[in-house]
Amino acid sequence: MSASRSNFKQYTVALRVLLIFTVILGIGYPLVMTAASQLLFPAQANGSLVHNNTRVVGSSLLGQAFTDSLGNPSPEWFQPRPSVVDHNAASSGGSNLGSNNSELVDSIERLRTTLARENGVSPEKIPADALTASASGLDPHISPDYALLQVNRVSEARGLAASDVRALVESFIQPRDLGFLGESTVNVLELNIALHNLSPDDTDD
């Protein structure tokens, strides 16, 4: 009987400990972290949402396509990097094709030719990030080189002065983190929102 009572006592203690830590770690800790994040970092905690006036138009962390009614890249907008998942945030991922894969090499060359034609530049001027998808397929940034490459196409399509569009791009160049980490970037969504507001007659959504 004493052994049974001892076992029962141990089980009771273990159950109490389980319940206590379930409340602390399963309920209390998440509530505290949620409250702290909402208080200290509300924008990041809610998905780094980007607004145009009062309307949510996306997230600064997720790339998105800017296409026409047929699903083709629209010349009136700055375009993001290619995406294997068509910028679908529900299924991020890359192609997993090696650099020597013939399918990848052919697709890069086709895209290089297309972008050169659309932007009125020679193929060798197309930067690498314009030709390759990120590992997630959702990279919201492009290089300043790729953004500046698109200036003439965008300004012509919108009837804006190329100098104004170039100045807009330059104002959205984000420097390296801490001055030395990573590369300078341009957030495509934020740039296109500013471009939309720069074009008072623009009626696109």
Tell me: do 99 and 129 sit in the same domain. yes
Question: Residue 200: pLDDT band by 50, 70, 90 thresholds?
Answer: low
The more confidently predicted of residues 115 and 39 is 115
> Widest CA span of the chain, in angstroms?
92
CA-to-CA distance for 7 and 198, rounded, in angstroms? 75
Question: Residue 104: pLDDT band by 50, 70, 90 thresholds?
Answer: very high
Per-residue confidence (pLDDT) for residue 205, from 0 to 100: 46
CA-to-CA distance for 192 and 184, rounded, in angstroms? 18
The more confidently predicted of residues 6 and 198 is 198
Most confident of 27-31, 38-42, 51-55: 27-31
Any residues with CB less than 8 A from the CB of 84 and at least 6 apart, and which?
A: 93, 94, 95, 133, 137
- Determine the structural domain holding residue 162 and report its residue range: 48-198
Tell me: do 40 and 56 sit in the same domain. no
- Asked whether residue 205 is assigned to any structural domain, the reply reads no
- Asked whether residue 187 is assigned to any structural domain, the reply reads yes
Tell me: do 106 and 7 sit in the same domain. no
- Is the model's pLDDT at 2 over the cut of 70? no
Structural domain tally of the chain? Answer: 2
CA-to-CA distance for 110 and 104, rounded, in angstroms? 10
pTM of the model: 0.80
Tell me: do 80 and 160 sit in the same domain. yes
